[in-house]
Amino acid sequence: MFAMVLLTAVVLATLFRSRVGAVRQGLVSAAFYRLYRGEVEPESSVKAARHFANLFEAPVLFYVVCLSAMVLHFTGAAMQALAWVYVAARAVHAYVHLGSNRLQNRIGAYFFSWFVLLAMWIYLVAAVATSRVNAP
């Protein structure tokens, strides 16, 4: 989970740098960011803002499944491996989205991360259903 938090922080720093850079280059005025009206935000800033917001959508389910697994003491090697694969897929998604933004690559990374997230949930639910967890 901390790796996802770090990824979110990196994207936030990228967003901040892109917005400051846009203002310094005269692409948008600083006043635009008060209400987000009257001008058009540069594409690089829009991409970073959209990606930052995206990190508070599906990844919330990642945090919930991780915390649930921790509470239920279901944190074995398989669950940990799935969690790392999820974080890696999200990092690839961020790299593509904030870089080349090739839609085919971005969609592939995005849906792969969803597949892994669903696998984590199915694995946890199956463990609960078959009483393979050590609930407190």
Separation between Cα atoms, residue 123 and residue 46, nearest integer Å: 36
pLDDT of residue 29: 93
pLDDT at 97 over 80: yes
Is the pLDDT at 136 greater than 80? The verdict is: no
> Is pLDDT above 70 for 134?
no
- In percent, how much of the chain has pLDDT > 70? 98
Fold for 2-129, please state it.
Four Helix Bundle (Hemerythrin (Met), subunit A) (1.20.120)
Nearest to 83 by CA among 105, 67, 106: 67
> CB–CB of 87/1 below 8 Å?
no
Residue, of 82 and 133, whose pLDDT is higher: 82
* pLDDT score of 135: 60
Is the pLDDT reported for residue 28 higher than 70? yes
The yes-or-no verdict on residue 133 having pLDDT over 80 is no
pLDDT value, residue 131: 84
